[in-house]
Each structure stands twice: as structure tokens, then as C-alpha cells.
């Protein structure tokens, strides 16, 4: 089984594809995850980020946000806290502390981070892989 850290820029596309770039690679990762071929790790803030986007950008109402939060909890993503020292290091290198949490977790676990955030992929190129580089054939 493959393991990877997925950030909110990827997992958001599991819930909404309209107007989203790289929706197909995200869907391929979800299919791989649902088949049990991909173990997804993320810091606990993933859910907060997704609910924030859904409420503020997607303008979901309370009932829809609660349903989304419940669905996130049922996915089976493995949540792990990143080391604050590693987060601080990546924040000092130019990432937000939120983005740094994903990089720090991938670094600590020795696994790949998949992100659709160009800055994350540029700053942490040794561990971060752009979502656009994921091919459906690799994930199905």
C-alpha cells in the first residue's frame, strides 16, 4: 500500500470539482484511496481548512457544512500532529504555518506530500509532488 500526505488543496477536490483545476488527478487519488491502495495522512487541521473554504468560498449553509464535516470524519484519513519545530522551520522558509504542517508531516513520516499549491511544491520540492503530475493510470 502506498502512503502519502494530501493537503487541503487536493482533498477539497474530493468534495467539489466545479471550477477546480486538476480535478481528474484528485479523483484518481480518491479512487485509489477508496480501493484501499492509498493510505492518506494529514494533520488534523485538514478538516478545519476544508470547512473554512466550504463556508467562506462555496457559501455552504450550516446543514451542508455539518454534513461535510461528518463526511470528512468518516473518510478514514489518518490524522497525525506534525512536530511544531518542523512546522516552524518550514514557516521560516516561506510557507504559511498551515502549509508547513503538511510538509513537516510528510518529512517526519518520510513520505510524499501531494499538493495543488505551487508554492508548497516549489519550497519543498524534495518531498512535495504537484497534483498535476499524478496520472490516472498511476492511481487506478
pLDDT at 19: 83
CA dihedral 62, 34, 139, 123 (to 10 degrees): 50
Taking a C-beta distance cutoff of 8 angstroms, is the pair 30, 14 a contact? yes
* Domain 2-43+79-139 CATH (choose: 3.40.50.300, 3.90.1150.10, 3.40.50.1010, 3.40.50.20): 3.40.50.1010
DSSP per residue over the chain, as a string?
Answer: -EEEEE-HHHHGGGT--TT-TTHHHHHHHHHHHHTTSEEEEE-THHHHHHHHHHHHTS---HHHHHHHHHHHHHS--EE-PPPHHHHHHHHHTT--HHHHHHHHHHHHHT-EEEES-HHHHHHTTTTEEEGGG--HHHH-
pLDDT at 17: 87
Output 137 or 70, whichever has higher pLDDT. Answer: 70
Q: What is the pLDDT of residues 40-99, one digit of tens each?
A: 999 999 999 999 999 999 999 999 999 999 999 999 999 999 999 999 999 999 999 999
Q: Is the pLDDT of residue 29 over 50?
A: yes
pLDDT at 117: 97
Angle at 105 between CA 126 and CA 36, to 5 degrees: 95
pLDDT at 140: 37
What's this model's pTM, rounded to 2 decimal places? 0.92
pLDDT at 104: 98
If pLDDT is split at 50, 70 and 90, which confidence band does 20 have? confident
Q: What is the pLDDT of residues 107-134, one digit of tens each?
A: 999 999 999 999 999 999 999 999 999 9
Amino acid at each position: 500500500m502506498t502512503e502519502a500526505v494530501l493537503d487541503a488543496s487536493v482533498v477539497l477536490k474530493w468534495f467539489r470539482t466545479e471550477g477546480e483545476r486538476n480535478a481528474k488527478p484528485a479523483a484518481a487519488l480518491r479512487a485509489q484511496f477508496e480501493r484501499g491502495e492509498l493510505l492518506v495522512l494529514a494533520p488534523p487541521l485538514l478538516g478545519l481548512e476544508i470547512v473554512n473554504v466550504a463556508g467562506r468560498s462555496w457559501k455552504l449553509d450550516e446543514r451542508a457544512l455539518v454534513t461535510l464535516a461528518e463526511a470528512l470524519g468518516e473518510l478514514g484519513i489518518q490524522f497525525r500532529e506534525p512536530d511544531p519545530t518542523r512546522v516552524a522551520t518550514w514557516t521560516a522558509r516561506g510557507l504559511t504555518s498551515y502549509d508547513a504542517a503538511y510538509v513537516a508531516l510528510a518529512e517526519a513520516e518520510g513520505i510524499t506530500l501531494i499538493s495543488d499549491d505551487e508554492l508548497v511544491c516549489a519550497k519543498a520540492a524534495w518531498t512535495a509532488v504537484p497534483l498535476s503530475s499524478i496520472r490516472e493510470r498511476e492511481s487506478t
